Chains A and B, each alone.
Chain A
Amino acid sequence: MANQKASGQPPVLSISNLKTYFYTDLGVSRALNGVSFDVPYGKVMGLVGESGCGKSVTSLSIMRLVPKPGKIVSGQIIFNRCERVDGTFKVVESVNMTELDPLGPKVRSIRGRHMSMIFQEPMTSLNPSYTVGNQVAETIILHQKVSREEAMDRAIQIIARVGLPNPDQMIRRYPHELSGGMRQRAMVALALSCRPTVLFADEPTTALDVTTEAQILDLMRELQAEMGMTIVFITHNLGVVAQMCDSVGIMYLGRIVEMADVDSIFYNPKHPYTAALLRSIPHVGSRTKARLSPIRGVVPDPYSSISGCPFHPRCDSYIKGVCEAAVPAETDLGGGHTVRCFLYSDKGEVEDNGQQ
């Protein structure tokens, strides 16, 4: 919450104390357990963590797409919709996403228009029975008052912009006729067809080969600079984070445990989890064959309730009697660097036991 106040501009997204729980037969899974962060305009923010840490649920919650039996139980999501006026960005509307009906017309006018999303697996997120052109044009027709012909023309333009060959013919192709990399380009075209303010990219390159991944990352960087978009980049690949993001939030079990600019995360990590994560990956080009330092234990299952700091059972800096007693509060270390760890502050938070 305390980040990016310095820029003077309101953030495009301001999330405070967001809690999203899943009520299942096995118990309550607290997928998001008090997530707070701001996303500044025109920047790329990374959300990083291992499977089950809540990074995808964060983006789904913001777009109000949390599937049943999940529910946003508390917290606030403020979306400051902005437009470019005379070269500067201006907030034209401020929406509290949590107050909207997830199926209502307001949220549907935002999704796909002002906020959109690229998913990991393009084959399952494109409709196999419609042509690429149809799917891109559908979004344009839905959100902008244009004729079918004009929508198709715009679809051809955006398809050409994402680097798909022969856009005139490409609009008549079906998703199964395209390779993985081309499908992901089509997905990018679909997501960007209405020039959204915020783009959520949920592991957009995880399913791709390295040379294709590099092409897609280049494309996203170019389009981001061109359109002045804000990107929330969700990934577990620290290499991609280092190459793409301006700021990074490290997630562990439904909380952001550390948040800072990308250089501080890699060169001056404060949270023991961040540091351990960086130590555990083999660094390509390091010329060393030193043994890796894994993080001991496993990511706990989402239904378990760990008292205090959720990372304490795996932490090398665990302080007996402190870490399991309370959840560490967010500490501002200055310069937009925040961390939740008792090494930096004594302040704890009262625990929420998930009862509603």
Chain B
Amino acid sequence: MANSESNGHELLLQVRDLKKHFPIRGGLFKRVVGSVKAVDGISFDVRDGETLGLVGESGCGKTTAGRTILRLYDPTSGTVRFNDPDLGWVNLESMTRKELLPVRKNMQIIFQDPFSSLNPRMTVKRIIAEPLIVVEGGSADSHEDRVAELLRMVGMRPEYMSRYPHAFSGGQRQRLGIARALALNPKLVICDEPVSALDVSIQAQVLNLLEDLQSQLGLTYLFVAHDLSVVEHITDRVAVMYVGKIVELASTEELYYHPKHPYTEALMAAVPKPDPRRRDRPIRLPGEVASPSNPPSGCYFHPRCRYAKDVCKAEAPVFEEVEPNHWCACHFARELSLRGIVV
């Protein structure tokens, strides 16, 4: 699977057949009796400077994918190649902790929950200086100027640096999390549901901030989220995951308006549109998301798919480029004519 078609864009990250299986232990001696295939062979590229969305329903493996790429989890198999600005192309999956340290400078993460991701016993100065201390040494005080600069960058007053996280609202805490992620001047930032815990009026502030920082600092985002309206707004390309696999990957516009996978079509139909004059009740997906520990045969989506035929039960479809820059894993991707977000 080589979707390394870069169209003149420099690539920043290459993920190939990445798998992360978590063992299920049971019985008398806690033997491995099965595994949860949270990420089950995903391949995609991230281009320098773009925002790639990773969407799907809970349990589809999108968060695990993000964390495995960062080596917060060790992958079961597959490769993750990162184009480090200092070291060139490196293979993250085989590096030791020590080797990873200089690479991690360039790969950071923003977490979903701004309450549990900031240590309540540390001052803001210490929290934001932490990555600087780990990589460059020194103390929180010696990095004070950089912390002040970072706070200004995320729209907060530098005087706040001596306060503790509890003194801030959810939106402000998320800004602190962003400042910490940017402390080492990274290339790639994995945003794991960065706005889903925030109130609607605050979401817009944080989304605008992320967009501003991207253009100022030339950041690349891997944007993991389930809210399809937020994803449409902020991403350039989107990958849709279902039970540990990517089922479709295309430019945001293409994916939202001309989807090729029946699951994408159903997702688009399910989004409640904020318009009382468009109360269509289109396709509904029956049933539930399959279990990643015991997925169905063939195409994982076939029990819920209204276009499924016999071949879908028997054979798993290949994830391939069905149109230029439009990747899809469906036996009938070239034949089906599916509805996008606009009816």
CB distance from A280 to the nearest CB of B (A): 4
Interface band, chain B: 35 or more
Given A214-B284, A215-B284, A285-B256; A242-B276 close (CB under 8 Å): yes
Chain B minimum-CB-distance residue to A283: B274
A123 CB–B CB distance under 8 Å: no
Interface band, chain A: 35 or more
Q: Report B168-207 residues with CB < 8 Å from chain A CB.
A: 169, 171-172, 199-205, 207
A237 CB–B CB distance under 8 Å: yes
B271 touches A282 (CB 8 A): no
B297 CB–A CB distance under 8 Å: no
A266 CB–B CB distance under 8 Å: yes
Chain A minimum-CB-distance residue to B279: A243
B281 touches A266 (CB 8 A): no
* Bound CA span A291–B284, Å: 32
B204 touches A294 (CB 8 A): yes
Q: Report A265-307 residues with CB < 8 Å from chain B CB.
A: 265-267, 276-278, 280-285, 287, 289, 291-296, 298-299
Chain B contacts of A283 at CB under 8 A? 229, 274-275
* Bound CA span A149–B21, Å: 46
A240 touches B276 (CB 8 A): no
B57 CB–A CB distance under 8 Å: yes
* Bound CA span A209–B289, Å: 10
A213 touches B270 (CB 8 A): yes
Q: Which of A262, A283, A287, A298 has the most CB of B within 10 A?
A: A298
* Bound CA span A213–B204, Å: 23
B33 CB–A CB distance under 8 Å: no
B199 touches A211 (CB 8 A): no
B267 touches A295 (CB 8 A): no
Chain B contacts of A294 at CB under 8 A? 201-205, 208
Fill in one digit per residue for B261-304: 1 if any A CB lies within 8 Å of its CB, else 0. 00000110111111111110100110011000000000000000
B201 touches A239 (CB 8 A): no
CB distance from A284 to the nearest CB of B (A): 4
B273 touches A242 (CB 8 A): yes
Chain B contacts of A182 at CB under 8 A? 288
A243 touches B207 (CB 8 A): no
A238 CB–B CB distance under 8 Å: yes
B100 CB–A CB distance under 8 Å: no
Chain A contacts of B273 at CB under 8 A? 239, 242-243, 284-285
* Bound CA span A243–B272, Å: 6
Interface of A, helix, strand, loop or mixed by DSSP: helix
The answer, among B207, B226, B281, for a CB contact under 8 Å with A218, is B281
CB distance from B243 to the nearest CB of A (A): 13
Given A182-B288, A242-B276; A280-B226 close (CB under 8 Å): no
Chain A contacts of B271 at CB under 8 A? 210, 239, 284
Chain A contacts of B274 at CB under 8 A? 238-239, 241-242, 266, 278, 281, 283-284
A212 CB–B CB distance under 8 Å: yes
B199 touches A51 (CB 8 A): yes
B270 touches A181 (CB 8 A): no
B58 CB–A CB distance under 8 Å: yes
A150 CB–B CB distance under 8 Å: no
Given A266-B276, A277-B201, A285-B341; A292-B228 close (CB under 8 Å): no
Q: Report A202-251 residues with CB < 8 Å from chain B CB.
A: 209-215, 217-218, 236-243, 245
* Bound CA span A268–B289, Å: 39
A349 CB–B CB distance under 8 Å: no
B253 CB–A CB distance under 8 Å: yes
B211 CB–A CB distance under 8 Å: yes
Chain A contacts of B172 at CB under 8 A? 298
Chain A contacts of B226 at CB under 8 A? 209-210
Given A218-B281, A263-B277; A282-B229 close (CB under 8 Å): yes
B72 CB–A CB distance under 8 Å: no
B341 touches A214 (CB 8 A): no
Chain B contacts of A241 at CB under 8 A? 274
Chain A contacts of B229 at CB under 8 A? 239, 281-284
Given A209-B57, A262-B276; A292-B201 close (CB under 8 Å): no
A50 CB–B CB distance under 8 Å: yes
* Bound CA span A293–B201, Å: 9
Chain A contacts of B285 at CB under 8 A? 211, 214-215
B267 touches A211 (CB 8 A): yes
A179 CB–B CB distance under 8 Å: yes
A280 touches B201 (CB 8 A): yes
B171 touches A291 (CB 8 A): no
* Bound CA span A281–B289, Å: 28
Chain B contacts of A211 at CB under 8 A? 57, 266-267, 270, 284-285, 289
B233 touches A236 (CB 8 A): no
A285 touches B342 (CB 8 A): yes
Chain B contacts of A238 at CB under 8 A? 200, 274
B272 touches A266 (CB 8 A): no
CB distance from A58 to the nearest CB of B (A): 18
A242 touches B275 (CB 8 A): yes
Q: Report B94-131 residues with CB < 8 Å from chain A CB.
A: none
B74 CB–A CB distance under 8 Å: no
Chain B contacts of A292 at CB under 8 A? 204, 207-208, 233
Given A291-B208, A292-B233; A281-B270 close (CB under 8 Å): no
* Bound CA span A3–B211, Å: 43
Chain A contacts of B281 at CB under 8 A? 218
CB distance from A237 to the nearest CB of B (A): 7
B288 touches A212 (CB 8 A): yes
Other than the given A266-B277, A280-B201, A298-B172, 17 more pairs (CB < 8 A) read A50-B199, A51-B199, A180-B58, A214-B285, A215-B284, A236-B199, A242-B273, A242-B279, A263-B277, A266-B275, A278-B274, A280-B204, A282-B204, A284-B229, A294-B205, A295-B204, A298-B202
Pairs A-B, 10 closest by C-beta atoms: A239-B272, A294-B204, A284-B229, A282-B233, A209-B57, A292-B204, A295-B201, A214-B270, A285-B341, A280-B204
23 A–B contacts from the bound complex (CB under 8 Å): A180-B58, A182-B288, A211-B270, A211-B284, A213-B272, A215-B285, A236-B199, A239-B229, A239-B273, A242-B273, A242-B278, A243-B272, A243-B273, A266-B275, A267-B277, A278-B274, A281-B229, A282-B207, A282-B230, A284-B228, A287-B253, A298-B171, A299-B169
